[in-house]
Amino acid sequence: MLRVLSLPTTNDIFKLTIGYPLDLIKTRLQSMQEIKSPLTIAKQLIEKEGFIGLYRGITAPVIAQFFMNGLSFAGDSLAMRILEPNTTNLEKAKFSNMIIAGMFGGFAQCIVLVPTDLVKCRLQTQQDSSSRSRQNGPFTCAYNIVKAEGIRGLYSGFLVTAFREIPSYGIYFCVYKKVVTLFKDPITNETSKFGIIFAGGLAGCASWTCVYPCDVVKTNIQLYSVNNKSKVPNPIEMTMILFRKHGIKVFLRGIEVTLIRAFPVNAITFYVYETLLKRKG
């Protein structure tokens, strides 16, 4: 697995591209004061900027792809070597250790994920051409953040992102491995294509559902200093601010578009992974 997905592939860029408009809509839903439907947001954005507006800020996560896979899988590999020093076949490794290793990989990728996610969110939520001229690309946006907030500003929301990524990765691989076994042929010991696709999609949806409130808090922390001059709240403070303003429902705002994106994107991820793994075998 580490060798197969150590670098971004055409598949990685394809997944990012097809799911990005829904990610943009999700971010806007999470950060808006008033409630709008996903279709309304998409319609308004297309009317103002054309279809290309749905891909505003995509450059940052594309660049991140060249580093995130390497960090997450290197972190997973390092943790496995520590937890299972005498195991060369991953199928014989303890399931609990595989979950822990995956969680460590999720933490490792935060080094790159947090600043690129911050830049992406800032670009996704710019509302007019005047702000776009000020931050018309990821590097300009990152420069403005460092200029205004220092290097530390690029890691705004690191703690809550880690809280999201660590359990998310553990749930992700746990659900996939449990569900995919239900579709194994007892005679050939092979899993059907449908089983891989279904298990991958379900794993993506399950991991997002469990950590989605953290994502809402993360987005609002990363966008807070754009409109406020006061100190950025910590995760607990931001949770209370959101709850007082919008009630408990705010922590699930935008989850529908996230799940619509999560199923096909993660179904493709595991299908390609299993296909490449068979070819290598």
Tell me: the pLDDT tens digits for 128-138? 544 444 556 88
- The pLDDT confidence band at residue 204, using thresholds 50, 70 and 90, is very high
Per-state percent for the chain, helix, strand, coil, to nearest 5 = 80, 0, 20
Q: Is the pLDDT of residue 71 over 70?
A: yes
Structural domains present in the chain: 10-280 (1.50.40.10)
Q: Is the pLDDT of residue 100 over 90?
A: no
- Predicted TM-score (pTM) of the model is 0.81
Tokens of residue 133, six digits: 């001229």
pLDDT in tens, 1-56: 444 444 455 667 777 888 899 999 999 999 877 778 889 988 988 998 888 889 98
pLDDT, position 89: 57
Cβ-proximal residues to 43 (8 Å cutoff; 6+ apart), any chain: none
- The pLDDT confidence band at residue 254, using thresholds 50, 70 and 90, is very high
pLDDT, position 127: 64
Higher pLDDT, 29 or 274: 29
Span of 50-59, 99-108, 134-143, 187-196 with lowest mean pLDDT: 134-143
Q: Is the pLDDT of residue 197 over 90?
A: yes
Section 110-122 average pLDDT: 92
Tokens of residue 17, six digits: 């591209």
pLDDT, position 235: 92
CA 82 to chain centre: 26
Tokens of residue 158, six digits: 């690191």
Q: Is the pLDDT of residue 90 over 70?
A: no
The answer to whether 205 and 263 are in contact (CB under 8 A) is yes
pLDDT, position 5: 44
The answer to whether 201 and 138 are in contact (CB under 8 A) is no
